[in-house]
Amino acid sequence: MEKFKIFLVAILLSPFLFQSCQKEDVTTDNNSQIEEEATTDKLKVTDEMLQKLSDFYLNTDGVKVVDFLLPDGTTTPMIQVEEDLMFTEEQIMQLDFNRVRSKGSSETERNYHTNNLVSQGKNISIIGFTGGGGYGLSPKEQNALQMAVNNYNSLSGVSISFTLTFGTNYGPKDMVVYNNPFQFGSGGSAGFPSASGNPYKFVQIFGLNSFNVDVIEHVITHEIGHSVGFRHTDWQTRQSCGQNINEGLAGVGANAIPGTSAGYNPNSIMLACFNSSVDGEFDADDIIGLQYMY
């Protein structure tokens, strides 16, 4: 069985070829304008950024500047972390353990969620992009997106919800799911919610159409999870990718969400890497995490 990094899309290995979390999480404030003329030459990874990422319990191996592709074919420079998370420089420097808004919580639980969350009770407008140029979702991918949205909307005890449409007018939507026809590998990418309570807007997938619909559902559900504040559940070791990386426990924020498994959970939809046998459904710990956050 092959393991895939949801990246690569986060992408982030072995009888299974791991695919990791789609180079996914692009943490950008959806209200900020993108300067199309900007290039990766103008953005550099600094020691200060790496320290900030490390303090937030993010793996700093392989952090780099990339040109992140948007549905209209333009690109914007982003900083790629853990192979599936995308940040602007400002977003990295604003990472802060003290801004936490989970239900009934006053501290960041690093195992599952970020410091910024979507506003409680928000109905998130999400569009599956159907435009040309290879950016549009195939019929199978559209079906998988509908299944992923159903995963979230069917949960009880969760205040956020989604309204799904398909088309090309993604500008006014909270979230758009689209293909990157130029990305190598299979997976997806996304980002974290903004400080203003909006989900990360650009959910990118790639190289998935040859997989069955359950695998595509898994990747999209995973990337939407990042967009509403979920982190990788195996953040400490990246065990799902065939790695054994301990990112350290110094500092604050390394607490599990109450009621979730203390050790490695091979069934969580938020593992850093996936394989071709995933079913696209939430594990019990994922549901507890969403109910705790929202």
Answer with the residue of higher pLDDT: 34 or 89: 89
Q: How confident is the model at residue 251 (pLDDT cuts 50, 70, 90)?
A: very low
Could you give the percent of the chain with pLDDT greater than 70?
74
Over range 54-75, report the average pLDDT. 87
Q: How confident is the model at residue 84 (pLDDT cuts 50, 70, 90)?
A: confident
Answer with the residue of higher pLDDT: 204 or 16: 204
Q: Is residue 167 left, alpha or beta, with left meaning phi > 0 and alpha meaning psi from -120 to 50?
A: left
Q: Amino acid identity of 272?
A: A
Task: Tell me the pLDDT tens digit for each residue of 23-64.
Answer: 333 334 443 333 333 344 578 899 999 988 887 777 788 899
**Residue 264 confidence (pLDDT):** 78
Distance CA(191)–CA(84), nearest Å, equals 8
Q: DSSP labels for 196-261? A: TSPPP-EEEEES-TTS-HHHHHHHHHHHHHHHTTB--TTTTT-GGGT--------SS-B-PPTTS-
Over range 58-76, report the average pLDDT. 89
For the chain, give the mean pLDDT.
79
Beta strands in 7-44 (DSSP E): 19-20, 24-27
Over range 174-202, report the average pLDDT. 93
**Residue 249 confidence (pLDDT):** 38
**Residue 217 confidence (pLDDT):** 98
> For the chain, which domains are there?
3-293 (3.40.390.10)
Distance linking the first and last C-alpha atoms of the chain: 35
The alpha helices in 9-138, defined as continuous H runs, are 47-55, 89-93
Q: How confident is the model at residue 231 (pLDDT cuts 50, 70, 90)?
A: confident
pLDDT at 119 over 60: yes
Whole-angstrom CA distances from 208 to 146, 169, 235, 270 are 16, 23, 24, 17
Place of tokens 């426990």: 249
User: By CB neighbour count within 10 A (0-12 exposed, 13-18 middle, 19+ buried), where does 63 fall?
Assistant: buried
Task: Tell me the pLDDT tens digit for each residue of 125-171.
Answer: 999 999 999 999 999 999 999 999 999 999 999 999 999 999 999 99
Over range 74-102, report the average pLDDT. 77
Distance CA(235)–CA(245), nearest Å, equals 9
Of 187-196, 197-206, 224-233, 266-275, give the range with the top mean pLDDT: 197-206
Task: Tell me the pLDDT tens digit for each residue of 99-109.
Answer: 444 444 433 33
pLDDT at 118 over 90: yes
Over range 97-125, report the average pLDDT. 64
Over range 188-192, report the average pLDDT. 91
Answer with the residue of higher pLDDT: 206 or 91: 206
Lateral strand order in the sheet of 84-87? 24-27, 84-87, 75-81, 64-69
Distance CA(231)–CA(243), nearest Å, equals 17
**Residue 246 confidence (pLDDT):** 54
User: By CB neighbour count within 10 A (0-12 exposed, 13-18 middle, 19+ buried), where does 153 fall?
Assistant: middle
Place of tokens 């209200």: 31
Asked if 281 and 154 count as a contact pair (C-beta separation under 8 A), the reply is no
Whole-prediction pTM: 0.78
Structure tokens at 83: 């192979």
